Every structure is written in C-alpha cells, then in structure tokens.
Amino acid sequence: MRPILFIDRDGTINHETEDEQIDHIDKVSYLNDVFFYLRKVQAESNYLLVMVTNQDGLGTDAFPEDTFWPVHKLIMRTLESQGINFDAVHIDEHFPADNHPNRKPGTGMLTEYLKGDYDLKNSYVIGDRTTDVQLARNIGCKAIHIAKEAVTDSELTTDSWKEIYEYLILKPRKASVQRTTKETNIQIEVNLDGSGKTEISTGLGFFDHMLDQLGKHGGIDLKVQVEGDLHIDEHHTIEDTALALGECFLKALGDKKGI
C-alpha cells in the first residue's frame, strides 16, 4: 500500500492573495523552495501526490471558469516542468455556505482513497488552513500545517518546505535491538545521526575499544551492553554482538530511500 500526500494549492504551493482568488497569472507567485523540496520528496519516497483544493464559487459570475483554468494550467505545467507530477487533482467549487460534502474538510472528493488500497495511516494532508488539518483527521491521516505559528494539533507546523522535506524524508535514524540466547544477553541502541557518544560494555576490553572507535569515528551514538559466557570463551559474545549490531543498523536505516 502506498501513502499519499494530499496537497492544497493556494497558500501551499503558490501564495494566497488578499482576495483569495487566483484569477490572473499576475497573481501567481510560489512559496520559497517549493519546487526543489517537493521534487525531492517525490523522488526520495513512494508517496503519491494528490492535489485537493477549494475554489469558492468556481463557475459562477464571482469566479468565471475562463479566469481560473489558464492560471491553474500554468501552475500545473510549472510543477511538471520541475519534475513534480500529481497523480490526481480534486477541485471543489462550492461556497462555504453550501455545506457541501465535497468541500474541505468534507471528504466527498476523496472517497476513492478511503475505499482503495492506500496507506492512509502514514499519509498526510499538507495545507495552510485549519480545514486542511481537519480534513486529515476526517480521512484518518496526519497533518502538516503551513503556518508561522501552531494553532492546531498538526504533526508539524511550519512555513518552510525545507522543514517539510526533512520531516517526511530525513526521519531520525534510531533503533534498538534486544538479542537473548542461551549464551548471551545483548542490548544495543544506535543513532546513526548522533555525535559519536558511546557506552560500551561487553566484558572484553579490546572489543569495547573497537566498538567505541566505530561510534566515535562514524559520528554514531552507540550503546552496547553485553552479558556473555566469557567463562567458556569469547566466541559467542563477539559473534552475537555483531549479529545484533547489524540488525540494529538495518532497522535504523529503514527503507534506505534517500541515502
């Protein structure tokens, strides 16, 4: 199952205007670094990109379609020219007073994703309105609120696409492993993005020194606690520690995307 990024348009990709109506190309300007980091998110992950936008009164005299579509197509062409491709675009044209189920935070436009084979638990709605955060709750996924200050219970509040990229892709690479056999009891914790702090206790001085150097020179925080049958020999302690350490590194690396 693939996760989805449900992305708002105005205020999220391009700047919102005071009249909240992008009906001329002169009104189009883009958020800082949106193309660079959104492209990186798509290239370094398996998220599907789905645009979900409210366009109040689209098709009425207040917002004629012939003023909307040229601007919208320009925005989409610009995204595509930067290597950013949306799997689908959903546009609701109702006014807030209509209380239509398709209008965000309603889920009417997104029923195919609620019933389909998608990883909603690990999906996100990204938008600048509190209605975007509420939409995330309504469809059972997480929220990234584009704003200067947190006013919602979103997983992340920021006005920086760089921070959005780092949150989605550069997740903390930490892991722990407990390995217990008849011969050894091993507990390992690793932070691949640490500063080289180590806490090593295997009962073997030279082995402790080797593992300590691995952490310090690799910039890895490493905690290794080992109880082994050293009264018999060192073999099980060293071998089982290596097995547990490899498993811990593998867990910390995750799916390895973006390395």
Which range marks the domain in which residue 238 is found? 174-253
- Phi then psi for residue 224, to 5 deg, are -130, 120
Q: Which of residues 153, 169, 185 is at a domain's end? A: 169
pTM reported for the whole predicted model: 0.73
Q: Are 74 and 25 in contact (CB under 8 A)?
A: yes
For residue 57, the number of C-alpha atoms closer than 13 Å in the C-beta half-sphere is 12
Q: Are residues 149 and 221 in the same domain?
A: no
Whether 91 and 140 share a structural domain: yes
226 touches 237 (CB < 8 A): yes
Residue 259 covered by a domain: no
- The residue type of 194 is G
| Same-domain check for residues 135 and 232 | no
Report if residue 212 sits inside a domain.
yes
Q: Is 226 part of a structural domain of the chain? A: yes
**Of 115, 138, 169, which residue constitutes the final position of a domain?**
169
Give the C-alpha distances (Å, rounded to integers) separating 242 from 131, 225, 237, 246.
50, 12, 9, 6
Catalytic member of 10, 92, 221, 240: 10
User: Directed axis angle between helix 65-81 and helix 34-43, to 10°?
Assistant: 60
Residue 33 Cα distances to 29, 62, 77, 164, 193, angstroms: 12, 32, 17, 11, 25
Same domain, 141 and 33: yes
Domain end marker among 129, 149, 169:
169
Is residue 258 a part of any domain in this protein? no
Walk along the chain (259 residues) and give the pLDDT tens digit of each residue.
999 999 999 999 999 999 989 999 999 999 999 999 999 999 999 999 999 999 999 999 999 999 999 999 999 999 999 999 999 999 999 999 999 999 999 999 999 999 889 999 999 999 999 999 999 999 999 999 999 988 778 999 999 999 999 999 887 789 999 999 999 999 999 999 889 999 999 999 999 999 999 999 999 999 999 999 999 999 999 999 999 999 999 999 887 766 6
Same domain, 165 and 178: no
Phi, psi of 179 (to 5 degrees): -125, 120
Considering the domain architecture, whether residues 164 and 100 belong to the same structural domain is answered as yes
Residues 161 and 68 reside in one and the same domain: yes
| Burial tier of 10 (Cβ tally within 10 Å: 0-12, 13-18, 19+) | buried
In 3D, which of 184, 226, 186 has the Cα closest to residue 207? 226
The reply to whether 127 and 11 lie within a common domain is yes
206 located within any domain = yes
Catalytic position from the list 8, 23, 128, 221? 8
Cα–Cα nearest to 150, from 165, 177, 128, 166: 128
| Residue 246 CB neighbour total at 10 angstroms | 12
Q: What is the pLDDT of residue 151?
A: 79
pLDDT confidence of residue 259: 67
Query: Residue 88: which CATH number?
Result: 3.40.50.1000
3-state secondary structure of 173: coil
194 and 141 in one domain? no
**Residue 130 lies inside a defined structural domain of this protein:** yes
Q: Angle CA(2)–CA(117)–CA(105) in degrees, nearest 5?
A: 85
Residues 67 and 24: beta-carbon distance below 8 Å: yes
Please report which residue ranges of 145-234 form alpha helices under DSSP H: 161-169, 205-218
Residue 111, number of CB atoms within 10 A of its CB: 12
User: How many structural domains comprise the chain?
Assistant: 2
Whether 23 sits among the annotated catalytic residues: the reply is no
Q: What is the CATH number of the domain that holds 191?
A: 3.30.230.40
pLDDT score, position 162: 96
Are 11 and 135 within one domain?
yes
3-class DSSP state of 106: coil
Identify whether 10 is a catalytic site residue.
yes
- 139 and 215 fall within a common domain: no
Per-residue model confidence (pLDDT) at position 257: 66
Specify whether 99 is located in the same domain as 140.
yes
